[in-house]
Chain A
Amino acid sequence: MVSSGMDTDSRQGEFRRFALDKVVPFAEIHDRSQKLSDRIIPDLAQNGYFAPFLPHRWGGASMDMVTYGALHEELGRACSSVRTLLTVHDMVAHTILRWGSSGLKERWLPLLARGEVLGALGVSEPNVGSDITAVEMTAVADGDAFVLDGQKKWISFGQLADLYLVLCTYSGLPVTFLVERDRAGLSVEPIEGMFGTRGSMLGLVTFKQCRVPKDNMIGRPGFGATVAQTALGLGRYSVACGAVGIAQASLDACYAYASGVTRFGALLKDHQLIQQMISDTITDTVAARLLCRHAGALRESGDFQDIMHTFIAKYHASTAAMRAADRAVQIHGANGCSPSYPVERLMRDAKIMEVIEGSTQIQQITIASLGFQEFDRQRLLAGGDSFGQPSGGRPKHQLALDTVSE
């Protein structure tokens, strides 16, 4: 059941207090050290923030998607690396809940809900980015098991995860498996020196003759991309909400700075060009938050159009975050370019939001295509030619859109 706006606002206050107390003090440290503080995971677990949407029977909080979005907004506002930890973990938990066998649910969901096992998603590869149909990692059947070979790259929290959800091909068909960290043939190499969300402990995960039981398969061969889309759909929503948090954090920083710094005999906030930038950021942020809440409500209701609206929310929120952080650095001047203020970190983190869970360009292509589909449908319903041209003027096959990755 979707919580009322008042419930969500109340919970958002609780999430904000947690973030201010437990996360904000470490955000800069995470960025510099390229790893998370040891306290973060126990604190998140203690508050039930790992996969809180899981039903009570699996140890979750049965949290609705709008409230979940508010949680990820507040964590994104505090530290994008911490929000990323929950994003990748929750994608695995969500996918097991949605498509896992009863045995996999029994085994993993309680552990994931308690944060005792950390999950990570493996879709991207050294030669494969946004085109998930081009995955090269293979699975070969061998008795009651499958043998996996390949690599997964840019895996957020790949260094820390205990359980990976990976997309492979089996006899030319996409298929997904859960792979435990301690499986023979699995190795992880840290990826360091990233531009943003630097505490996300990225890994290059290599599978070399890595044998996994058949029971670790999620879904069936042929539906691997659909299973991956289940994970990515949640991830896209989480990233969108986290991007709202970055935009809000940029605004927070601007309010504080412009209220305390004097230039040309007046506080910065009294300069009209500063006010213009602030007003643009306020408007961008409010719009992004509303789009996220709308997408969250659709996700919660099970409406198939949640996909379209999550794309729209992610596209707007991630680009809004980048604009907000850019303006924030500009308002802070040279101070904004230094690590003495948080806005340069926010700008680097915002850029990552435009790349992960489907780049801005992938969102644009998908949104436009879905828009044209709806336009065509409306014309058909109105009784006209669906494409406004003589029959046969357009190929019947839909443009392939399987190009949405983490």
Chain B
Amino acid sequence: MSEYKQIIRQFFSRFFRTDELGDADDVFAGGYVNSLFAIQLIAWLEKEFKIAIEDDDLQLANFSTIDAIAQMLGRKQGVVVAA
């Protein structure tokens, strides 16, 4: 759901420039972020989308790109998110 991606991108823009960031770009491997960002991202996702992120969710595959985060949100909210 592109709405998810747009909201995530807005959050990212609080921390770094997103004009060159694609939905499939790896923000961790690309050096955009660090663990302080990750912990803020998790707290924000939980509050913004009223979901619980648990130990099994703590995998790079769920957080590395805007697409991946949107997919995870979709799974948790029962919504199909297009890649």
A residues with a Cβ closer than 8 A to B are 99-101, 132-133, 174, 218-220, 222-223, 225-230, 233, 301-307, 366, 373-374, 377, 380, 386, 396-398, 400-402, 404
Of A228, A373, A397, which is within 8 A of B35 by CB?
A228
Distance A303 CA – B48 CA, assembled complex (angstroms)? 10
B16 touches A398 (CB 8 A): yes
B residues with a Cβ closer than 8 A to A are 13-17, 20, 28, 30-44, 46-47, 54-55, 58-60
Contacts of B20 in A (CB 8 A): 396
A132, A218, A402: which has the most chain B beta carbons within 10 Å?
Answer: A402
Of B32, B47, B59, B60, which is within 8 A of A398 by CB?
B32
Of A222, A225, A227, A377, which is within 8 A of B34 by CB?
A225
Of A374, A380, A397, which is within 8 A of B30 by CB?
A397
- Closest Cβ of chain A to B58, distance in Å, is 4
A219 touches B58 (CB 8 A): yes
A99 touches B34 (CB 8 A): no
Shortest Cβ distance from A387 into B: residue: B17
B43 touches A303 (CB 8 A): yes
Contacts of B36 in A (CB 8 A): 229, 307, 366, 401-402, 404
Distance A401 CA – B30 CA, assembled complex (angstroms)? 15
A397 touches B16 (CB 8 A): yes
- Closest Cβ of chain B to A149, distance in Å, is 23
Distance A57 CA – B47 CA, assembled complex (angstroms)? 23
Shortest Cβ distance from B44 into A: residue: A304
Contacts of A233 in B (CB 8 A): 39
Closest 6 A-B residue pairs measured CB to CB? A225-B35, A304-B43, A304-B40, A219-B58, A304-B44, A402-B34
- Closest Cβ of chain B to A357, distance in Å, is 14
- Closest Cβ of chain B to A57, distance in Å, is 15
Contacts of B35 in A (CB 8 A): 132, 174, 223, 225-226, 228-229, 402
- Closest Cβ of chain A to B76, distance in Å, is 16
Contacts of A396 in B (CB 8 A): 16-17, 20, 32
Distance A402 CA – B36 CA, assembled complex (angstroms)? 7
- Closest Cβ of chain B to A406, distance in Å, is 14
Contacts of A380 in B (CB 8 A): 13
Distance A228 CA – B36 CA, assembled complex (angstroms)? 10
Distance A317 CA – B56 CA, assembled complex (angstroms)? 36
Shortest Cβ distance from B21 into A: residue: A396
Contacts of B43 in A (CB 8 A): 302-304, 306-307
Distance A101 CA – B28 CA, assembled complex (angstroms)? 24
Q: Please list 10 pairs of residues, one from A and one from B, whose beta carbons are closer than 8 Å in the complex, sorted by A's number.
A: A132-B35, A133-B34, A219-B55, A220-B58, A225-B34, A302-B47, A307-B36, A398-B15, A398-B33, A400-B31
Distance A293 CA – B4 CA, assembled complex (angstroms)? 33
Contacts of A304 in B (CB 8 A): 40-41, 43-44, 47
Contacts of A306 in B (CB 8 A): 43
A229 touches B39 (CB 8 A): yes
Of A101, A132, A174, A307, which is within 8 A of B39 by CB?
A307
Shortest Cβ distance from B40 into A: residue: A304
Distance A219 CA – B60 CA, assembled complex (angstroms)? 11
Contacts of A302 in B (CB 8 A): 43, 46-47
Shortest Cβ distance from A381 into B: residue: B13
- Closest Cβ of chain A to B41, distance in Å, is 7
Distance A396 CA – B15 CA, assembled complex (angstroms)? 11
Shortest Cβ distance from A398 into B: residue: B16
- Closest Cβ of chain B to A203, distance in Å, is 25
Contacts of A307 in B (CB 8 A): 36, 39-40, 43
